[in-house]
């Protein structure tokens, strides 16, 4: 029997890849007086609702989706977090 799961995919540029959005945010925060911020990496969040037999099956499916379409594994890192849909 399948259950519904929510999967959050956090995508950020890999270390060593330029991140102009993150640099702009870091600069603006410094200008606003937040001198303790050392660096910022900007990314995006994609949330999926997926039906699967288990949370591990959902995790595996979403990781496959990331490798094929959602993220560019050459220049981006991603982190998948799966949880039950609250009823």
Which CATH number fits the domain that encloses residue 47? 3.30.1280.10
- Domain extent, residue 29, equals 3-84
Please list the ranges in the chain whose pLDDT falls under 70. 87
> What φ, ψ does residue 13 adopt, rounded to 5°?
-65, 145
Residue 43, C-beta contacts closer than 8 angstroms, at least 6 positions apart: 10, 11, 12, 13, 76
| This prediction's pTM | 0.87
Q: Domain count for the chain, please give it.
A: 1
Residue of 4, 10, 7 lying closest to 71 (CA atoms): 10
DSSP 35: T
Q: What is the pLDDT of residue 87?
A: 62
């Amino acid at each position: 029997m399948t259950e519904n799961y929510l999967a959050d995919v956090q995508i950020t540029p890999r270390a060593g890849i330029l991140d102009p959005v993150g640099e702009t945010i870091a600069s603006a925060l410094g200008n606003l007086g937040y001198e303790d911020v050392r660096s910022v990496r900007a990314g995006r969040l994609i949330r999926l609702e997926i039906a699967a037999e288990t949370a591990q099956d959902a995790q595996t499916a979403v990781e496959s989706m990331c490798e094929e379409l959602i993220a560019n594994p050459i220049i981006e890192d991603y982190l998948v977090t799966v949880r039950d849909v609250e009823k």
